[in-house]
Copies of this chain bind each other. A is one copy, B any other.
């Protein structure tokens, strides 16, 4: 790899001049600029970002911590963030936390050691030291942290929406699946749903699910229909769980949506390809990722930020695991 010294020698100038040409700052004579540019192309020189980063004490790298990209919701977020970052010449260092604080900490430490200029984190522990006094801006994604920069959607409203719609379509023996305790958005959805249900004076059952993993989702679906076989409406904690519930319902010979209605959460890509296709509360994951990246860039560049916490809309996406309102009975 050619260095700035090689370029300087080749062009017959000092390294300072080369640096000025590269960065387009300060005075450089047109002829000199030409010479330097020629030397750069001849030597195929590209500046060493590490050296730059060392002097400037900041890189063009940003850190991204997500729970688990194996859950299809997160790649959408990641992709949105990455596309926006890419367009602004930032690169992403990445880590999966599995929702564990110690893994988060380990990643964040090495991110900081690598001079990342900002962080996007989907964490349940925004108020730990890990995220305070980091010295670099942090945007919380999919998770709120009161009054700190974040991009998320209104889980509570989503939960209410799910309850409202499933009620409007006639379910009365509803089972709500409560996602992992330590995952805030999951609890928000749950709270929203039961709030609405209580509000309407409708009794409901609850199934706890301790993770969002594909591998375990089937277990809870089984548990649901064993414990509450007369369930005629399921509000699932996300689309993965909803998919498993749909699968299990069909295995048991139940008709969806006639015998059981199911509403998921997230609207991951596969949801529309299920049969029947999954009715769900949509979060605009890709856009959330992009918005988080955009916000972080503003913070990094010290631009005045119009809005520090961005709440994205949640939308009822009606498909075929719920009945049509016209057909509503009860």
- 13 inter-chain pairs at a CB distance below 8 angstroms, sorted by A residue, are A46-B112, A49-B110, A54-B54, A59-B114, A69-B78, A70-B75, A82-B94, A92-B95, A93-B93, A93-B94, A243-B273, A251-B275, A270-B270
Give the chain B neighbours of A269 by CB distance below 8 A. 70, 214-215
Does A274 touch B at the CB level, under 8 Å? Answer: yes
A25 beta carbon closer than 8 Å to chain B: no
Which residues between 257 and 305 of chain A lie within 8 Å of chain B, taking CB atoms? 269-270, 272-275, 277
Oligomeric state, in copies: 2
For residue A53, CB closer than 8 A to chain B, the reply is yes
Interchain nearest-CB distance for A155 vs B (Å): 23
A70 with B61, Cβ < 8 A, contacts A273-B243, A274-B247 known: no
Nearest Cβ on chain B to A11's Cβ, whole angstroms: 20
Q: Does A236 contact B (CB under 8 A)?
A: no
For A46, the chain B residues whose CB sits under 8 A away are: 109, 112-113
Rounded to whole angstroms, the CA-CA distance of A141 and B127 in the bound complex is 38
**Cβ-based interface call for A246 (8 A):** yes
| Alpha-carbon separation in the docked complex, A264 to B107 (Å) | 36
A246 to B273, CA, bound (A): 8
A28 at the interface (CB under 8 A from B): no
Closest-CB distance, A35 to chain B (whole angstroms): 23
Contacts of A48 in B (CB 8 A): 54, 113, 115
A 93-105 to B, binary, CB cutoff 8 A, 1 in contact else 0: 1111000000000
Besides the contacts A69-B79, A93-B94, what 4 more A-B pairs have beta carbons closer than 8 Å?
A1-B112, A46-B113, A86-B95, A274-B275
